[in-house]
Structure 1
């Protein structure tokens, strides 16, 4: 605050040359302009702490700012004198050309908002002691350069596409409700079912066949990509087809580059949820089998004591004469089964999971020349292409 709102000796002499009632307002405008590159339009634009610090330096009360009219002729004359005081000059044609080039080369690739770019423009003018045109005129310059940059970027993305990719994208927009149509590509992954997993797999395979130039996403700011993704996600296929061909393909290609990462994450979530479901069902089955085993040999401690007593009393007797009268073959088999059931629970669950997978084979068993329909059935026909790396 001290560096931003401190008055130099020259500033104090300049302010004190004016009437006492206008000194605080003049000082506020002077330091506000020196900090941001444009003038305040009302007292509310000036921070309270900075205003109090200025009033302390001038030996006046901070409340005197209320008597300064920021829209009066006096205030406008003060603004003109403030420009002369530190040596500012009006923007010339050469300055405008340099500013336009700087906006296109430095600000536009970042994808910042209009207001954020305007703040940088004012600071650029301030650092060069240039007093630019009105805020509205500078805003028109910024908007024009942003639009030119976006158009150039989209056309460049369209030019990087191969002829096969262009044909696939145009077919997707022409038939938006097909398996790889525009509407289907924007759909959510849904719940962890076989149909949804295969649907996401087909979408990923479609994007990978396009061979999109992903380096375009790193050459510009993320706000541009987010803006295009939101725009394409909110448009219908008919609205997309109204764009010029190059702009249309550029928008769709950049959207699919970002969509590929979203679909990959969705595929991972679906697979994790599927494995979790299989593990939960397998654990439930194993625990149920253990419970059945425990019920089948209820009272085994008493049986084991009786078997031990009979063995001690007749050590030379045969099993069928000594043991079986106390606990038959079925009882003894149940005890053995329960002992096996006390093995590692995780190992048994994993065994059941493998058995379930070998029976269902949700991702295997695809024969050459077969494809999966939207219902998850294997039918003869044209192959749908290789599985994405997420499933390999």
Structure 2
């Protein structure tokens, strides 16, 4: 016998309704009990029991009590007999359930394809959906072999439909399929003169090389790897895969297509049907474009970090070398220490000044030490700019040409809210003050032009003045400048500009002052040392456009 269902299960699934009890009137003994058990098992599992061992003992006891027959009488009921088969036919007529026909199988496959074609088709999920649909349509499950056939057919047709849909989208994109074929074919037009074997082999090698380059992952951080990834991104973009070509298609499905394309050589891809070949190559390029873009951002960060680290190391070595050349400082310190210990009760003027060869020497030494930090920072910036100008400039300029940097706080407030909420969740158990301040700065930008922003800015200023880090203050002021520009509040904006000038007087983030002027549509007070990649007019226009877009957004909410 099967396992007991428990009281709740038995009551829910094996209690006869009034109508069902009426169907037993002309039946007695084991026949009455067997008929009732088959009925409730059908309603519970969506099929008839194949043998008595499938029946839960407590369920049989519960049904037996309802029909007034001892549960032991069920041993005399043969589930394979003609009477049992006749009972099943009678129950089908009474309940509306029916055996699975060929027409049902076709409809079930069609339903499964409609449900799963755009998502990852896992066999167990398909089986679950199949059984659910058969129960909904009151169809008894066919044999295990037929179920397997239905599932395999549905999986195959679902993949074909997904391929057909994506291939149709690619075909609607002007010239896209031709450019995809160019990645694996040579001499597509066939209009030119016949090629000799050597030329054909060269073309074949070129095709192999292009596809292999696109598939390849970047090497170590260097200018060459940066330029290689930029070249890959341009090659991928040149094919022109539509952005929405895989809209509604599961990520796992696209990933499976990409994996097939990655594992196939051009010669193998040529053997696929055109639709399949186009879809596989499109999936490869679609995902590689995203991966290469992410790689370029990582390379940008790594490159800037490397330039900074090398500049700091070079300047540190130079300052250490310069300090060791001034040998008099060590002797001067020794004389001052000896004189101080020899006359601890004496005044500085009487004891220390003579040992240091006079007051002027000490003043010069203090001035030199005060200047050291500023000089170090200036020297580091000079070396940083030199490295950029002489070696990395070409690569970084090309990188900025192919990447489009956007802030969701500026361009998509709704998306920014979700990202800010996620950031707060991730920071909840961490003590990362600088990161938390940056998240709050994103909130200022997202809410620019709103009544609450002035209070938020004042609170942040106070917190940074008391607890730091002071390095974040200019960024907060720049966010405030954006807010005041949106409101066209010139009084508050002028006050913010004054604070920005003071905070960037050491030349760090001095360009923030320029950006604040650009956003407000104001001319610069003095010629700026900042050099903009696209020139000042284009840069000014973009920053001003952000303010205009924010005003339009706020206007649409009113």
TM range (shorter): 0.5 to 0.7
In 1, distance between residues paired with 2:247 and 2:356? 79
Aligned match of 1:200: 229
Distance apart, 1:333 and its partner CA: 7.7
Q: How many Å apart are 1:162 and its aligned residue?
A: 2.7
Structure 1: distance between partners of 2:277 and 2:63: 60
Cα RMSD, aligned residues only: 5.1
Greater percentage in helix: 2
Determine if contact 2:14/2:40 at 8 Å carries over to the other structure.
no
Cα 1:205/1:245, change in 2 over 3 Å: same
Select 1:112's aligned residue among 121, 126, 135: 121
Higher normalized contact order (CA 8 Å, seq sep 6+, divided by chain length): 1
1:58-113 CA distance string (max 9 Å, x none)? 79xxxxxxxx9xxx958x96988986775311235654454344333332122322
Aligned length: 351
What's the counterpart of residue 470 of structure 2? none
Tell me the equivalent position of 1:361.
392
- The corresponding residue for 1:250 is 279
Aligned to 2:219: 190
After TM superposition, the structure 1 = structure 2 runs for residues 325-336 of structure 1, keeping only pairs within 5 Å, are: none
After superposition, the Cα gap between the structure-2 partners of 1:303 and 1:211, relative to the gap in structure 1 and judged at 3 Å, is farther
Q: C-alpha distance in 2, partners of 1:338/1:360?
A: 33
* Partner in structure 1 of residue 151 of structure 2: 139
CA deviation profile, 1:308-338 (whole Å, cap 9, x unmatched)? x9x968xxxxxxxx99977999x99887554
Q: Mind listing any 5+ residue stretches in structure 2 that lack a counterpart?
A: 65-74, 186-203, 340-345, 406-532, 534-558
Matched, 1:389 2:403: yes
TM-score (norm 2): 0.49
Q: 1:90 to 1:168 in 2, by over 3 A?
A: same
CA distance in 2 between partners of 1:247 and 1:216 (Å): 14
Aligned residue in 2 for 1:369: none
Change (3 A) 1:3 1:365: closer
Q: 1:170 is matched with which residue?
A: 181
205, 218, 240: which one aligns with 2:247: 218
Q: Distance in 2 between matches of 1:236 and 1:225?
A: 19
1:13-46 CA distances to partner (integer Å, 9 max, x unpaired)? 89x9769xx99x9799657624xxx789999xx9
Within the alignment, does 1:228 sit opposite 2:257 as a pair?
A: yes
Q: Distance in 2 between matches of 1:5 and 1:191?
A: 68
TM-score (norm 1): 0.67
SS of the equivalent of 2:216 reads coil
Q: Distance in 1 between matches of 2:109 and 2:380?
A: 67
- Assess if the C-alpha contact under 8 Å between 1:293 and 1:334 holds in 2: no
The separation in 2 between residues aligned to 1:215 and 1:4, in whole angstroms, is: 52
Q: CA deviation at 1:214?
A: 2.0
